[in-house]
Structures are given as structure tokens and as C-alpha cells.
Amino acid sequence: MAGVIRVLIADDEPIYRSGLRQMVTADPHCRVVGESGSARELVALIASCVPDVILLGNARPARALASIREHAPEVAIVLVTRRIETAAVTRARRLGARGLLLRTVSAAVLLQCLRVVADGRLWMGRGEPAALAWDDNTRLAGLVLTSGLTPRELEVVSVIVEGASNRDIAHLFSISENTVKHHLTRIFDKVGVSTRLELAVRAAASR
């Protein structure tokens, strides 16, 4: 995206808003155009500030997201959360957010995320390659045909590209973490990759 990225920060905690502001303004290509401590205040600020990206850290984001989508559907929204797991990713997708970050995120990752979402792409908190696969339209049929994945292995892949950890997968499918590791070994071998990020990129390419 050309020019300066206009960022609106929305979080219930003033101290945390201040920390985000310091990180954003450290990059000359980013500018904080407003700050909000409530969903009601946020809607009014959007109209006056015209942000490109909203960093949304409110404890209850559903109401804020619905209002943003109604009044400014073109604005990129990044949810800032305490944990990134399958449930958080699913919720972010359902609510229409374009990105997901941990509250403990470093300045470098935060700024990279802003550039990615402002450019119209998606970010799920684990690096840009994984973000490529964070899309409701992702199709893994090609991956199945070329790699011979079983139905269960396909299920595992589908949650891996959403950012699920081994513990998340074990809980989701009621299996042990050792079984998850066994599935991953077989999947990596069949697909011809050695890491989760490589697998996410292959899954994205099969759309």
C-alpha cells in the first residue's frame, strides 16, 4: 500500500493503548489517527479519522466489529488477543477481522502485520506465509489428490493452517499429542514439507 498507513487504536486499557501508539509511531510510514476506549466512541472516531487499519483490543469485540462492518466495511480490522489458538482464529474469521495478533506482540511483528493487512492481505499472527492460507475460500482438494492424505489427515491440515497447536489439535479430535505428532510426520512426508509454514503455503497454493 502506497503512502502512510492510518491506524486507529481501540482498547479498553489506556496504558496498553499508549504502548501500541509508541510501537506504531516508531515507523514513519504509519500514523496513529485516533484512539478509542469504547465501542460507542470507536464508531464516531471512524467517521472523523478515516483509518486504513483498526487495532481492536476490546475485551468484547463482537459489538465493535459489527458496528465497524456496518459503517466502514473497507477498513482492515486486526484483533489483538491474549492467545492465538483455533477458537480465536475461528472467531476472528467469523467476525470479519483481517488479522489476529497477540497482546505481547513485538513492534517488528506489529508493523509487518499493519503493512500486510493495509495491502489487502490476511494475517493470523504466526507469520505471513501462514496468513496466505487464512481464507474462508481455501480448498484443499488438490492437496488430497496429489499427496494422498486420508480424511483425518485432511482434518489435521485444515486446522493447522488456522494456527492450531498440537495441543489444540489433540483437544479438538480427542486424541493424544503423540498421535498428533504421528499424523504430522505422515502429512509432512506425503506433502513433501518439513514445517507447518511450508504446509500452510502448500495448502494456500491448492486453492
pLDDT tens readout for residues 74-120: 889 998 887 665 555 656 666 678 888 888 888 988 998 899 889 88
Q: Where are the domains of the chain?
A: 5-125, 141-205
- SS3 letters across the chain: CCCCEEEEEECCCHHHHHHHHHHHHCCCCEEEEEEECCHHHHHHHHHHHCCCEEEECCCCHHHHHHHHHHHCCCCEEEEEECCCCHHHHHHHHHHCCCEEEECCCCHHHHHHHHHHHHCCCCECCCCHHHHCCCCCCCCCHHHHHHHCCCHHHHHHHHHHCCCCCHHHHHHHHCCCHHHHHHHHHHHHHHHCCCCHHHHHHHHHHCC
CATH topology of domain 141-205: Arc Repressor Mutant, subunit A (1.10.10)
User: In this predicted structure, which of 102-106, 162-166, 177-181 has the lowest mean pLDDT?
Assistant: 162-166
The confidence score (pLDDT) of residue 87 equals 56
Same fold, 5-125 and 141-205: no
**CATH architecture of the domain with range 5-125:** 3-Layer(aba) Sandwich (3.40)
